[in-house]
Structure 1
C-alpha cells in the first residue's frame, strides 16, 4: 500500500480518540483520561506511524547522502547547504543526536544500494543498469514492508558486517548465501528481542560464520584493553576501563554474583543464603555503590581473601558452552577454528579462549537430541540438581518468557507439571524462567505446557491462543539451522 496513504490511515485511527484530537498544549491533561486499553492501543498506532515515518526519513537521508558524495566536492548537497557530511545535514534538519543522524544515513544508503547511480539533480542515469541484489536484500525488503524498524535493520546489518570472501568466486557465492540465510533468520527473531539483543545476536552469528575473523576481532579487542584514570577539577578521581572480551565477562559474573539478590536472582536458596540476600536488600547503598565497594574489596583483599568471604554463595566465573565438543580443525598457529558461547548472554568466544579454559577448568558434557532436548533422566526430588540446571541452561539459554533477556544464572527452574500434583523434576518437563516471570506465571494464572519433546507453549490466563516460547540460546543453530554451507575453505589460516 502507498506509504503516505497508510500514514493517513494511522492518523485517522488516532483521531478516533477525542482525548488526542486536541491542541498540543492540552494533550497531557487530556491523554491522562484515556483508559488503560486505549493507552496501549493508541501507543501501538503512534509507534506504527513513527515506524512509517522512520522508513521514509531513512530513504530521504540515503538520497541526501548519495547526492553528497566525496567526489562531488563542494557541489554536493550537504556541502552546498554548508555541512561537512550528510549526517551533519540530517542532524541539522531533524534536531536529533549525531548518532541518530548517522544511523539514518547508514540505513538509507543500504536501502539505495540496488537502485542505481544517481543523476545530478535527481533521477537515475539512463546508461546504468541496476546492480544485482546484494546479500542483505532481504533486510531491505523487510524494512520497506514494515517487518523491521530502521533500528532493527541497522542492528542486523551492522552486527553481521560484510561477508568474509576471498578470491575464489565459488566460495564467495557460498559465503554470501550464508550471510543471506543468517539475515533471514535474524529477521524472524527480531520481534521477540530488544534491538540491543538483536545486534548482539547478529554479531554472534557473524562470528559463527567466520571463526577465523572472530579470532582476529577478539585479538584486536584484547590489544585495545586499557585502564585510564584522571582527577577532575573538584579533586574527584575517575577511571575508564576498556575490557577484553573474557575479562569483561569475568567482571560481569563477579558483580552479578554479589548483586544478584538486588537484581531478581533465584528465590530457592538455603537459609543462610536467604539471610544474606535479605541483608543485601536492606543495605542503604545503591547498586552502583555496592559494585564499587565490591571492586575495592577485591583489589584490597587480592589473593589473601577466600572466595566465599567476598562473593557469598555463588562464586563468579564464566561458563563456556561449545557445540560438538572441543575438537575440530585448527589454523596454522594451532588455534581451534571453532566458537564457544558464554552461558550467560551467549557472547561468542574464539577457539583460543576455549582451549585455555579447558586447561584451567576442564569440561562437563551435556548431550542433546537433534532438537536440542538434553538427554538426561528425571530426579525424584523437589529441586533440580546443579547438573540438571546445566542442561537446562544449555537448552534454554536464559529465561524463555517472550522478549525477556535475563541470563540463565538469574533463572529458576519451573515445573510444567506441578510437583505438588505428582509432576517429576525432569529436565524434559522443566523450563528456565527469571524470578519476575516465574512469579507472574503463578500469580496471574498463566500456564506452560509441552507435548512430549515439542515446543513449550504459554497459555494466557482465562484462555486464548497459546504462544511459543523458543529457546534463547545463541547456539541453537546447532539443532535449529539453516546450516551454513561447507566452511572448509573459509578464510582458513
Structure 2
C-alpha cells in the first residue's frame, strides 16, 4: 500500500503542461485501467468485509451503510459497490476482467445483477448455465460501452423472467429522490397502471384547478407546481402519520435578526435538509406557519426540567433536531424522524432531561450506546464516537490505521441558529 501511494504521489508530481492532445490521451488510457483495477480491489475487500460483518466494528450493520458514512459515497454508489462485490464469487469471468481493468466498476455492478439471489434462483429453475452467460456478458462489457452492457443484461433478465413481475402491484413500484448541494431535488419513479392512474389523477386535478388566464407556464411546470401543492395540502391537513411525537412539517431555522430584517438576506435560513434559503423566503413561510423560539444558550428559555421529567418535552426534542440535524453516531446519516433523544448521562444515574444532556440517535445506534459504544459532544459543537474498547471511530478516507491516531473526519453537526419556523 505504501508503494502504491508513493507511485500515485509521483504521478501527481508530474508536470502536464508540456504535453499536448495525443500525449495526454496516451497518459490517460493506462490511468483508466488502473482506476478499474483499484475499483476491483475495493470490491474484493468489500466482499470480504461483507462476509465477516466488519461494519459492526464501527457500529454499523451493513457495508452499504459503512461506505456511505465512512467512505462518503452516495446511496446509489455504495449500493453499486456492494452489488459488484457480492457478484465476484458467482461470476468468475467478470471478476477476472474487473481485476485486469478491462471492465469498469459500473459495468461490474450491472453484470452483478445476474448474480442476485432471485436471478440465480430463476436460472437454476430453468436450467440456465449462469457461467456461460457470465462469459458472454463479460465479453460484451469488454468490447462495448456501458449502455450496451446495460442493454445486454436487461435482455438476459427479460428472457429469464418472461412472465414479468408478480401480480402484486407494489413489486414494480420505485421512487428515487436525489437532493443536490443547493437543496433542489430531482428524481424518477415507476408505478404500476393503477398506482400511476391515482397519481396522475391527483396531479391533474390540481393542475386544472390552477389554470388561469395568460398562464405562461409550460405543461411540465404546471405539473411540478401541482405536485408541490399536493404535498402542501397533505401537510396542512394534519392527516399524515406522526413522526416521533409531532406532525411532519417544513422546518426553517433562521437567526432572529435576519427574520425581522427587511433585507433579502440570501443564505440566511436553513431547511431541515441543510439547504440554505433567503431570509425573504423564510419570512414568506413564517407568514402562514408557527414560529418557535429555540434558545440554545443559558440566557434564554430554560430547557432543564429537573429530575422529575424522564422523557424529553417536545420543544427540547425540536431544539435537539435543530442542533444535531440527525443521528450523531459517526458514519450514520439517519434523519431526525428516525431518531430517539438519548440521555448522555442516564436519567437513573442523575442525568438531567435538558438539551445539554441530549443526543439524537437512530434506533440501532441508540441500542449501541447502551451496549458499550459512547457519543460525546465537544466544546466546538462536533460529536465524537468511541467503540467499547475506547478507540475513536473516524470517518472519511484517510491513510492512518484504525487505531484512532489520525485526524478526525468532518462532522457538520454543529449548533444551529436560535429560531425555528414550521410551515
Higher relative contact order structure (alpha carbons within 8 Å, sequence separation ≥ 6) = 2
Asked whether the two chains share a fold, i.e. TM above 0.5, the reply is no
Q: TM-score range by the shorter chain?
A: 0.3 to 0.5
**TM-score between the two structures when normalised by the length of structure 1:** 0.38
